[in-house]
Amino acid sequence: MELNDLLAYNWGVMMPEFIILGTIALLVLLDLFLSKEFDRKLFGWIAIAALISAGISVLGMLDTPVTSILDDTYRLDSFAKAFKMILLAGSVFVMLLAMNYNPKDGFSEYRGEFFYLFLAALLGGMIMSSSGDLITLFVGLELLSIPSYILAGMRRNSLSSNESAMKYVINGGISTAITLFGLSYVYGLAGSTNLLTIAKTLSTNVDSQHTYLLGIAFFMIFVGISFKLAAAPFHMWAPDVYQGAPTPVTAFLSVVSKAAGFIILVRIMFTIFLLTASDGPGSMPLLLKLQDYIAFLAAATMIIGNVIALRQRNIKRLFAYSSIAHAGYILVAFTSLNYLTFDAIWFYLVAYLFMNMGAFAVIQLMSETTGSEEIKDFAGFYKKAPVLAAAFGILLLSLAGFPGTAGFIGKVNIFMSAFLDKDNPHYVLASIMIATTVVSYVYYFGILTQMFFRPAAESKSIKIPAGIIATVGIAVAASILFGIMPNIALDFLHSNFGGFVDFLE
């Protein structure tokens, strides 16, 4: 490629990625040359400034039409813009948690590495959201995954952290291999790695043998990505990894990494299999024909996540199973496959971002204060920090889907989407969603019971860092605001992203 051709590309559409990449390079150099005594928390402020700058860059491109560069391997469309905003917003909260994370087992020594490894993982998620090609999708996936394995084991002196990193690497490697195997079938049948070219090629598929191979590819890709989402029955890694990883990393895995998983799921499944004929031209798309299998996985994820959470005594393990259950709720919207699907997934991820990040901020503070992550240690929390306990209670109610919170509106959107298809409404799936939501009230209210109705072992007040106050305050405000006035978020979505009609352009 000649220099003039390279310069002819509209590189401005990649400005958010360039900002993050430049910050990673800067932090690596600073960490290399600064003395060990230098407080690496400054890196967090540099990273937050970069995240805000990247977010402003995304907002500045809201009116930019669909733009693709590098032979359509990178595309900026409404889907990419909307989901990059979720990734960037969640990352700001993770940074605030990391700057205020001070465990007793060796995290502070590697705090500098945390910031640029985390930004590298974020960059992978952003690349996935704008990928128009299987190769860039896979590169983004690995750029997200590999730093995540390191981050999970960053507490080097903690056996549980070492165990979580090992389990994450093994399960992540297996899921990547399965996903890549499925993508290789798609490439072999379509003769291209470009997503839109694949969609056009496979939409005219008439060979039944090809359909059979595409069915295998579909299941392998879906299973591989289900590992990333911690969807049942491929969730076995999540509880141990969530428990052993540093709390900011757990928050990252539960929100940012999970959002990135749904990004790649939607990109691949909706682009390729929604247009692929299942039995010759004019027949039902393959994704619709296999809808029942996705519904089964969504139901199993909701049931397993919520039921097993009832038996948990460790707060981070409980939130691991809660995260599994929430992945099941979002899969209900994915199963529905109608015009409300994108809206329901986007809004739920936004609501989940705020309520889960705020909850992990409180969990981090309590685990450092008490030296334990047991739910029983939340007893009498209201006496020690009444305002913080009340805020945590609101976030738990939002996670449970209590009316008046963003979590409730998110569940209502998903519930409504399950009935929009008049020919095939998902009554059973919607019923399971309601039943499992009721089950979730038991363990969420169990935490509330400990905080407000159980006596504390000691009544010593808790010192709350400014970063934790900011995180919890923003999370609670957003959870209430989007619960009472959800149209603020939905109107922003509709006015700026136009129903994602350019997704396949």
Looking at the domain assignment, is residue 157 inside a domain? yes
Q: What angle do CA 288, 294, 299 make, to 5 degrees?
A: 135
Residue 133 main-chain phi, psi, to 5 deg: -145, 145
Residues 21 and 132 in one domain: yes
d(CA 155, CA 247): 10
Looking at the domain assignment, is residue 220 inside a domain? yes
The count of other CB atoms within 10 Å of the CB of residue 170 is 12
Residues 461 and 413 in one domain: yes
Half-sphere exposure of 455 (CA within 13 A, CB side): 2
Residues 211 and 300 in one domain: no
For residue 30, which of 41, 19, 20 has the smallest C-alpha distance?
Answer: 41
Contact 312, 446 (CB under 8 A): no
Q: Which amino acid is at 459?
A: S
Q: Is 90 exceeded by the pLDDT of residue 459? A: no
Residues 234 and 314 in one domain: no
Domain boundary among 255, 289, 323: 289
Q: Is 90 exceeded by the pLDDT of residue 29? A: yes
Instruction: Label residue 454 by pLDDT band (50, 70, 90).
Output: confident
Question: How many distinct structural domains can be found in the chain?
Answer: 2
Q: Is 80 exceeded by the pLDDT of residue 109? A: no
Residues 268 and 327 in one domain: no
State the Rg of the chain over Cα.
22
Category of 380 on φ-ψ map: left (φ > 0), alpha (ψ -120 to 50) or beta = left
Residues 302 and 414 in one domain: yes
Which CA distances in Å does 359 have to 77, 97, 161?
32, 11, 21
Contact 262, 349 (CB under 8 A): yes
Model pTM above 0.75: yes
pLDDT of residue 2: 64
Looking at the domain assignment, is residue 505 inside a domain? no
Give the end-to-end CA distance of the chain in Å, rounded to a whole number.
26
pLDDT of residue 206: 60
Q: Is 70 exceeded by the pLDDT of residue 280? A: no
The count of other CB atoms within 10 Å of the CB of residue 296 is 13
pLDDT of residue 248: 92
Looking at the domain assignment, is residue 430 inside a domain? yes
d(CA 220, CA 58): 33
d(CA 275, CA 249): 37
Residues 100 and 234 in one domain: yes
* Mean pLDDT, range 342-370, rounded to an integer: 92
Looking at the domain assignment, is residue 477 inside a domain? yes
pLDDT of residue 263: 93
Domain boundary among 225, 254, 289: 289
Residues 240 and 314 in one domain: no
**SS3 sequence, 445-483?**
HHHHHHHHHCCCCCCCCCCCCHHHHHHHHHHHHHHHHHH
Write down the residue that tokens 């939002």 correspond to.
398
Tokens (6 digits) for 258: 């999970």
pLDDT of residue 218: 92
Instruction: Label residue 104 by pLDDT band (50, 70, 90).
Output: confident
Residues 353 and 284 in one domain: no
**SS3 sequence, 24-53?**
HHHHHHHHHHCCCCCCCHHHHHHHHHHHHH
Domain boundary among 274, 289, 304: 289
pLDDT in tens, 192-236: 999 988 988 887 766 777 888 888 999 999 999 999 899 988 888
pLDDT of residue 370: 80
* Mean pLDDT, range 148-162, rounded to an integer: 85
pLDDT in tens, 299-336: 999 999 999 999 999 999 999 999 999 999 999 999 98
Residues 111 and 218 in one domain: yes
Residues 233 and 371 in one domain: no
pLDDT of residue 359: 94
Which CA distances in Å does 483 have to 355, 413, 477?
11, 12, 10
Nearest 10 degrees: Cα torsion 340, 345, 348, 350: -120
pLDDT of residue 48: 95
pLDDT of residue 412: 94
d(CA 375, CA 40): 32
Of 345-349, 406-410, 449-453, the range with the lowest mean pLDDT is: 449-453
**E strand map for 51-101:** 67-69, 74-76
Range of the domain at 138: 1-289
Looking at the domain assignment, is residue 371 inside a domain? yes
Q: Is 90 exceeded by the pLDDT of residue 500? A: no
E strand or H helix at 75: strand 74-76
pLDDT of residue 183: 93
Looking at the domain assignment, is residue 457 inside a domain? yes
* Mean pLDDT, range 143-150, rounded to an integer: 93
Residues 386 and 314 in one domain: yes
Looking at the domain assignment, is residue 28 inside a domain? yes
DSSP string, 175-204: HHHHHHHHHHHHHHHHS--BHHHHHHHHTT
Contact 275, 199 (CB under 8 A): yes
Instruction: Label residue 105 by pLDDT band (50, 70, 90).
Output: low
* Mean pLDDT, range 409-414, rounded to an integer: 94
